[in-house]
Amino acid sequence: MNNGQLILKDKIIILTGAGGGIGRVISRRLTEKGATIVLIDLDKAALEATYSEISQHSPKSKYFLCDLSIRSQVEAVSSDIISGFHHIDVIINNAGIQKPIGPFYDNDLDLWVHNIEVNLLGAVYLTRYLLPVMIAKRKGKIINLSGGGATSPRPNFSAYAVAKTAIVKFTEELAVELRELNIEVNAISPGAINTRMLDEVIAAGSLAGKELESSLMRKAKGGNDPELAAELICFLASDLSDGISGKLISAPWDDWQNAAFISELKNDSDLATIRRIDNKYFRKI
């Protein structure tokens, strides 16, 4: 796979959660490859820090404060983005929160609902308001970040797991609906990266259940490299990924830099998707 330095030259990319640890890594990698980025986050200090880091490489990039859980704020920011740029090439829905942590029956329901509002509805709102620009151009890429709990049970993290599973389904539905409009939609799993969310798991103590032990080990030894997830996002944002849509791709586990695997992603409709294993489609018992 040819992964040239400026594979994102002249592309306008929207990135949520830009102030966080992985968001900053993604931002830096996107600008290194030539993109202009619209950074979105709720944390002003973190957002400005990311902008300060990338603006020297991408002077046309901008940033917006926005609470993605509030639909009216997302609508207003989307309007400002559309007014300020001639086109939008890529939307990256990266923003996410993890709490509440602990058994569902003990969760604060307000926190549980807020998790869905940020992790799922935030992506839905932004995509819905910006999508008409891509539809008018008949070209675009949407990249959604999924994560732990989307493909296997993650006890004591029910809100996060439900939201991230819904993100995968949202990805697949949009991919089918938008195929004829030349808009491709994919989700990625970045892997177990040491970020603020890891610290939240450790701080939760016994409420995190069996995940506490593995989190402490990961804190000591280090998690997956966020640069790998950022590189996958750059690939999916570029023209190199044309023909890939409706997939959930793991940054650390899938061989997505291999030409043969890329070909499989383009041609096997069930590869890298969530499916029920049953007698109808997959195997006979």
Q: Name residue 39's beta-bridge partners.
A: 15, 63
Tokens of 21: 């640890």
- Could you say which of 51, 63, 129, 160 is catalytic? 160
CA distance 10 to 268: 31
- Which residue, 172, 224, 165, is CA-closest to 194? 224
Tokens of 92: 């990256």
Annotation marks residue 129 as catalytic: no
CA distance 15 to 50: 11
CB-based contacts of 162: which residues, under 8 Å, 6+ apart? 116, 149
- Which residue, 195, 112, 205, 191, is CA-closest to 150? 191
Question: Annotated active-site positions, please?
Answer: 160
